[in-house]
Amino acid sequence: MTTLANHPELRLTGVWDRDAERLDAFARYWKVSPYASLDAVLADPAVSIVVNLTTPESHYTVNFRALSAGKHVYCEKPLAMTVEQASELVDLARAKGLVLAGAPANGLSDAQALCARLLADGAIGTPRLVYAEMEDGPVFKANWRAWRSRSGARWPGVHEFEVGCTLEHAGYAASWLVSLFGPVAEVSAVSALTFPDKGPGTETLALGPDFSVGCLTFRSGLTARVTCGLAAPRDRSLTIIGEKGMITVRDLWDNRSPIHLEIFGAKRPLLHRGLDWLEWKLGRKLPLRLYPGTKMRYPTAPSASALPAFPSQIDFVRGIAVQAQALKGGETPFFSGATARHLTEVVLALNGGWRDYRPLDL
């Protein structure tokens, strides 16, 4: 709702939630019309795109019903909880001539566009290796029960712990990787529940993995390591290492994240050289982190004026806007159909700790 203001070409016809109290509070705060049921949403001819922001285990059912009713769908990640269900949805959308698009929208950010331009310009030569981090810090140790959205809704911490951080967060890295480097040929991952006690109210629950690490081999020949967790210090950076240099994106959740470019063999910035000298002089590592290379300038003005506060500075509605624009022009948005299923496959493989998994043909 915060970033809807960035896209005046979209019109929100109404909202629905299976929790009547939550629906009423949301509709009142944002001054939007509530629907009486999901059937009412699907029967409304004014609705072109159904935006599915339900919890992951409900994605398949809502997506299936909306597509069956002839509606285009924009779905939060993942499309479904199994590869088979995701494939069924993609086939259904294709058969009905509909567009099934998927989140996350950070793969459409200004930062992604700048990074893609640097790669296309050959700034670091052929990319060979990538490190993608999706560490959100020890969230379960924080006072998360007190967290509220702008409209007063509670952060659904218990459910997030049940689903697991990989299903919730790995897509933010995967969307960048697939958009920059193409399809993944193989995934080999390990996942684990490393902290089974997430505090009062979670003792008897079946919690999902709170850590995963996976190696992705791309058809292009590039190799990437993706980590996802809820314990290590917050780090959502992306490091791309090529034959001639390195690109570092500080934060994949920031629409205009600082991006640094380092060319191997080039003279390093004075601040970096000075810090190295000081550490050698003192004989110890200082508690400072400098990103290698030169900070890049964005060539254009920001594409989004309204963004959520840190740490989620993503234009969440941009994916819906891109889908709407593509529909208007008779085109297919990148993060839709088989590509959205591909991202779902990769995330499910990381979450499940699948070894030597080969995604379906793309």
Cross-strand pairs, 256: none
pLDDT class of 268 with cuts at 50, 70, 90: confident
**Cα(first)–Cα(last) distance of the chain, in Å?**
33
Cα 108–Cα 153–Cα 151 angle in degrees, nearest 5:
75
Interval 202-226 mean pLDDT: 95
Confidence bin at 199 (pLDDT 50/70/90) = confident
Judge whether residue 279 has pLDDT over 80.
yes
* DSSP helix/strand/coil, 75: strand
User: DSSP class of residue 108?
Assistant: G
Is 3.40.109.10 the CATH classification of the domain at 108-299+338-352?
no
Question: Could you give the dihedral angle defined by the CA atoms of residues 103, 105, 108 and 114, in that order, rounded to the nearest 10 degrees?
Answer: -130
Find out whether 133 and 238 touch, Cβ atoms under 8 Å.
Answer: yes
Kindly indicate the confidence band of residue 134, based on its pLDDT and cuts at 50, 70 and 90. Answer: very high
pLDDT band at 190 (very low <50, low <70, confident <90, very high): very high
pLDDT at 60 (0 to 100): 98
Q: State pTM to two decimals.
A: 0.94
**Greatest extent of the chain over all pairs of C-alpha atoms, in Å:** 72
Question: Cα(99)–Cα(92) distance, rounded to whole angstroms?
Answer: 10
Residue 52 backbone phi and psi in degrees, to 5:
-95, 100
pLDDT greater than 80 at residue 261: yes
CATH class for the region spanning 3-105: alpha beta
pLDDT at 191: 97
* Strands in the chain per DSSP E: 49-52, 72-75, 100-102, 127-135, 184-192, 211-218, 223-229, 238-242, 245-249, 259-263, 294-295
Average model confidence (pLDDT) across the chain: 95
What is the structure's pLDDT at 204? 85
Residue among 360, 353, 346 at smallest CA distance from 178: 346
Give the tens place of pLDDT for each residue, 310-333: 889 999 999 999 999 999 999 999
Between 345 and 290, whose confidence is greater?
A: 345
pLDDT of residue 200: 82
pLDDT attached to residue 319: 97
135-153 pLDDT per residue, tens: 999 999 999 999 999 888 9
In contact, 66 and 90? CB cutoff 8 Å: no
pLDDT of residue 214: 98
Closest CA to 301 of 115, 108, 110: 110
* pLDDT exceeds 80 at position 100: yes
List the chain domain ranges: 3-105, 108-299+338-352
Tokens (6 digits) for 81? 């909880």
Rounded Cα distance between 73 and 62, Å, is 9
| 233 pLDDT more than 80 | yes
Say what the pLDDT of residue 315 is: 97
Beta carbons of 25 and 151 less than 8 angstroms apart: yes
Give the tens place of pLDDT for each residue, 301-316: 999 999 998 889 999 9
Q: What average pLDDT score do residues 37-59 get?
A: 97
224 touches 130 (CB < 8 A): yes
Q: 160-172 pLDDT, tens per residue?
A: 999 999 999 999 9
Give tens-digit pLDDT for 3-30: 999 999 999 999 999 999 999 999 999 9
Rounded-to-integer distance, Cα 160 and Cα 162, Å:
5
CA distance 31 to 14: 10
pLDDT in tens, 234-253: 999 999 999 999 999 999 99
Q: Give the number of residues written for the chain.
A: 362
In the predicted structure, residue 362 carries a pLDDT above the cut 80: no
Q: Mean pLDDT, to the nearest integer, of 177-196?
A: 97
| Phi, psi of 76, deg, nearest 5 | -65, 160
What's the rounded Cα separation, in Å, for the pair 256 and 277? 31
